[in-house]
């Protein structure tokens, strides 16, 4: 996923959920969705700060603790967050994350799997509550963690044409994490953010 090509938050979620094999999937969310609680720092209106796009949107939480993003394009058109893009928050002592239900690297939707798959983003609201930053998992870092046994999981090979020299390009092979939430969180937080995440988007508060 190329963060520079993402203009809106819903666009970012759409890329995250439909990126196919070139992404990080987890068999388990980072926390139990039955205990989902709103993050009041996310509630309100936000606007994109990157590029020429000036789309904005509003984050709200439902009574079950799930968050939704309703997006307003520059032309004033509103797009209401769909159920497959709703999220819930995981809080740790050091960071906050959004969990999404997602398709797995084979392209299967949750309804056709024996159990759902999850994807996640890291986020941070600035100290003055005016800036919201999102990061997505760095595929190469998680692929290496699985390959070296730091995390339990499997690497999903992509079906792509070989390079001109006949060798296979494995840089887009996806990862399915099969470890505990505690182990995944420990891996992510035991090293600097830039090592395991790519910055995706920065929003500013406008309410």
- Indicate whether 157 pLDDT > 70: yes
pLDDT of amino acid 107: 45
CB 27 within 8 A of CB 86: no
- Indicate whether 192 pLDDT > 50: yes
Distance between CA atoms of 75 and 54, rounded to whole angstroms?
9
Total domains in the fold of the chain: 1
The kind and range of the H/E element at 47 are strand 44-48
Distance between CA atoms of 207 and 203, rounded to whole angstroms?
12
Confidence of residue 2 (pLDDT cuts 50, 70, 90): very low
List strand residue ranges (DSSP E) for 129-187, in order: 131-137, 153-156, 174-177
Q: Report yes or no on whether pTM surpasses 0.85.
A: no
CB 6 within 8 A of CB 200: yes
- Cα 166–171–176 angle (5° rounding)? 125
- Range ranked top by mean pLDDT from 79-93, 153-167, 185-199: 185-199
- pLDDT tens, position by position, 52-98: 666 788 899 999 999 988 876 656 665 555 554 689 999 999 999 99
pLDDT of amino acid 5: 42
Overall average pLDDT of the 113-131 stretch: 86
Distance between CA atoms of 201 and 50, rounded to whole angstroms?
7
Backbone angles phi, psi at 12, to 5 degrees: -65, -45
Sign of CA dihedral 15, 19, 24, 25: positive
User: Three-state DSSP class for 139?
Assistant: helix
For residues 166 and 187, which has the higher predicted lDDT (pLDDT)?
187
Q: Is 93 exposed, middle or buried (0-12, 13-18, 19+ CB in 10 A)?
A: exposed
Structural domain harbouring 158: 3-205
CB 101 within 8 A of CB 167: no
pLDDT of amino acid 75: 63
Confidence of residue 16 (pLDDT cuts 50, 70, 90): low
- pLDDT tens, position by position, 22-39: 689 999 999 999 999 999
- pLDDT tens, position by position, 127-153: 999 999 999 999 999 999 999 999 999
Polymer length of the chain: 207
């Amino acid at each position: 996923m190329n963060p520079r090509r993402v203009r809106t938050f819903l666009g970012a979620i759409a890329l995250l959920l439909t990126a196919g094999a070139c992404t990080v999937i987890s068999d388990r969310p980072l926390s139990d969705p039955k205990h989902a609680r709103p993050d009041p720092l996310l509630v309100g209106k936000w606007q994109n700060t990157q590029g020429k796009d000036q789309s904005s949107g509003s984050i709200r939480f439902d009574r079950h603790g799930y968050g939704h993003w309703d997006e307003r394009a520059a032309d004033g058109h509103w797009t209401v967050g769909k159920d497959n893009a709703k999220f819930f928050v995981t809080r740790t002592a050091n960071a906050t994350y959004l969990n999404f239900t997602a398709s797995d690297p084979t392209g299967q939707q949750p309804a056709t799997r024996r159990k759902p798959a999850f994807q996640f983003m890291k986020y941070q609201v600035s100290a003055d509550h005016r800036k919201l930053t999102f990061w997505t998992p760095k595929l190469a870092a998680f692929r290496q963690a699985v390959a070296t046994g730091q995390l339990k999981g499997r690497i999903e090979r992509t079906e792509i044409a070989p390079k001109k020299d006949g060798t296979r390009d494995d840089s887009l092979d996806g990862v399915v994490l099969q470890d505990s939430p505690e182990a995944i969180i420990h891996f992510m937080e035991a090293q600097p953010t830039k090592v395991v995440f790519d910055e995706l988007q920065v929003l500013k508060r406008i309410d």
